Structure formats: C-alpha cells, structure tokens
Amino acid sequence: MNIIAVATSDYIGLILMVALLYISRIRRSANNDQLEFQVFSTMSVLAMVACFVDFLSFYADGKPGVAWKVVNMLSNTYCFMANPLFISSWCLFEDLKLYHSRKRIKKIYTYAFIPAIVLGFIALINIFVPIIFTIDDANVYSRLPFSYAYYVVDFCYVLFGLYILRRYEDRYGKVRFFPMFLMVGPIFLGCFLQVIFYGISLIWVSMAVGLTSIYMSLQNEFSYLDKLTGLYNRAYLDYYLDMASKDANKKLGGIMIDVDYFKKINDTYGHSAGDEALVDVARIINFAKADKTVATRFAGDEFILLLRDTNDKAMQRIIDNIREEVKLFNETEGREYKLSLSLGYAIYNPEKETLDDFLKHMDDNMYKEKETKHPSEKR
C-alpha cells in the first residue's frame, strides 16, 4: 500500500467535490425544490465525505490501539454503505434528468433501490459479523469474497443506467449535453482497477471526476436553455439549424408558432400572467410535438419546432396535435385567459434557399394563418 498515492487520489477527489458544491451553490439554491438537484447534491456530499473517510481507512490500517481499530472499521463501513447508494442515486438522477416524472420515480425506484439498501444493511452487520471484510487483532484490513458482490451490484446499476438512456433515446432521440460515458467511464475504470490491484484507492476519485464532468456538461446545457419555458433558446436554434443544414439526406421541417393577442394578455392580466401563458404554451408544445422534435423559444412569444427526416404529412400532424392540445387546455385548465396560436410550417430546401429564407418561409406561412384567423391583428 502506498499511502502517498492514496492520499493524492483522495485529495484530488475531495477538492473536486468541494469545488463542485461551491460553484453549484447558486443554481442549487435557485432550484432547491427540484428533486434532481437534491439528488445531485446528495451524490456530491457522499463522494466528498467518502474521499476523506477512504484516506482515513488506509491511514488507520495496521496502526495499534483500539481508537485506530474503530476508525478503520467505521471508515470502511461508510465506504461500503455509500458505494451502492451513490451508484443507485446516479440512476435516479439520470431518470429525473431525462423524464422529469416523480410518478415514474416512485413506481420504479421503490424496487430499484432494494439492492443498495440491502448492501447498506449488510455493511452495518459486518461490524459485528464479518461478511465483507475483516480487521484482525493487528488492525489490518482484509477483503472477504462477499465484498465482490458490491462490484457486481455497481456494475448492474451501471447497466441499468445505460438501459434507461437507451430506452429514452429510442423514443425521443439522442440526448444532448448528457454524455453518459463521462460518468460511467471513470467509474467503470476505477472499479475495475481497484478489483484487480488490491490496496489501491480509485473508486471515489473516479466518481468525483465523473460528477464533475457531468456538471460541466450540464452547465453547457443551461446556456442553451430558455430559463422561463425550459425549451431550447435562440442560441441552440442557430446551432441546430447549422448542423441540420449540413445533412442533405434528411429533410428538415420547421413550424413557427406565435401566441395570438399576447400583448392583450400582458396588458389585461399583468406580466406574470404573460409569463404563465408562455410556460403553458411550452407545455402544450411538449405534449403535442413528435418524438425527436427540437422545441425552441425563438423570441418573445414566438416558438419554433424543428424535425429532421420529415415530410408535409408529419408536419401537419404535429400542427393538428398542437391545436388539439390548445383546445383541451382552454377547456380544462381554467386560466383567466384563453390561448390561441397561429402556426406555419415549411420544409427546408437547401438547393433553392438559405436558412434565412427557410425561417422567413415559416414566418410568412404563420402570418397568413394569423391574418385569416384574426384580420384585425397587425403584423
């Protein structure tokens, strides 16, 4: 055992987690009612404490005295308890990030957390009955065969996380700004090396690196999201248009959406009602849009949906879905205002038009509908 190498590894992990918790404090405070941020904070604290405790376990190993034996036992117990809890919490965080459904979480994770909880209890029992590891009279730690069950369960949770992602992408398309390999890669490698090379400590620094990498990626996502509606913003729209326009093999379709009489909603009911109306429109769009559709807030009360590999029939189907959702919203939500949307779509033809022409084509078609429905509303 190289105590300097262990100290260096755990120190790096500890500093990463302290820095992560510090720089994320404002965002966590602003979103303290969101379960996904609470889960992320819990994982960060688990990893931070484990990095410190892991070093204590190595430092106390072999030192004489009852106090050091207690430190050795409790520190190793904590690490074995925290390990499955961290990995299972990662699956929970991933699920929340993708689906945003507490109902789904309650349904799935009532059972998915059982292996982590069971292993946590086994770690406590191990204090009295050696199952996972032993500490002999000389205060020397030894790993028992059952300890490998923790690595097996960790691996199963990683596979479960990959399964969640795959199912989501099959239905909704590739997840942007959430690269699983940045989290799974370091953890998998750290676990593998720690199993192979007895006496080294890489798991917790690997988890710290994974969490930091994911947070950096999520920060990139935050810069592309509209804070009010949660849809993508204009910056991401420009990026997506540029990327999609380079793939001539898949037709790009777009729908421009404008909220009718939005100024009247603001003037009559106040700007807070106007903000609420925009959030309602975003929710309607999310309910109505097809899988793999990119929904953006273009500007003010205008929204744009983009869908690759599409056709006129598919675009019209989305428009019909949006109109049905608006009708249902007005009949059931009981808002003081009624929503009305004007929509226009276009299919991008890169051989005959520029991206600006494509946007203008959508805009013109949207205003044709607006003028037909509301001739008194000026452009």
pLDDT digits (tens, 9 = 90+) for 264-290: 998 898 989 999 999 999 999 988 888
Work out the pLDDT band at 352, boundaries 50, 70, 90.
Answer: confident
Confidence of residue 141 (pLDDT cuts 50, 70, 90): very high
> Tell me, what's the pLDDT at 160?
94
CB neighbours (10 Å) of residue 286?
15
Among 5-9, 98-102, 355-359, top mean pLDDT goes to 355-359
Helix (H, G, I), strand (E, B) or coil at 297: strand
According to DSSP, the residues that pair with 252 across neighbouring strands are 308
Average pLDDT over residues 1-23: 88
User: Is a pLDDT exceeding 90 seen at residue 217?
Assistant: no
C-alpha 307/C-alpha 288 separation (Å) is 13
CB-CB neighbours of 375 under 10 Å: 8
pLDDT in tens, 21-66: 988 877 766 665 578 888 989 999 999 999 999 999 999 999 999 9
Q: What is the pLDDT of residue 66?
A: 95
pLDDT of residue 91: 93
Q: Is 347 helix (H, G, I), strand (E, B) or coil?
A: strand
Q: CA 45 to CA 211: how far, in whole Å?
A: 11
pLDDT at 377: 55
Q: For position 198, what pLDDT does the model report?
A: 64
**The pLDDT of residue 8 is above 80:** yes
Instruction: Please report how many Cα atoms fall inside a 13 Å half-sphere around the Cα of residue 176, on the Cβ side.
Output: 14
Let me know if the fold of 3-222 is the same as that of 234-373: no
Write down the domain spans for the chain.
Answer: 3-222, 234-373
Name the percent of the chain lying above pLDDT 90: 52
pLDDT at 118: 97
CATH fold group of domain 3-222: Rhopdopsin 7-helix transmembrane proteins (1.20.1070)
Could you tell me which CATH number the domain at 234-373 has?
Answer: 3.30.70.270
Tokens of 260: 């009718």
* Cα distance between residue 80 and residue 76, in whole Å: 6
Give the CA angle between residues 126, 200, 158 to the nearest 5°: 70
Average per-residue pLDDT in the chain? 88
Phi, psi of 231 (to 5 degrees): -80, 170
Q: How far is CA 213 from CA 17, 24, 218, 379, in A?
A: 11, 13, 9, 46
Confidence (pTM)? 0.74
Q: How far is CA 93 from CA 37, 137, 178, 260, 307, in A?
A: 8, 41, 12, 38, 28
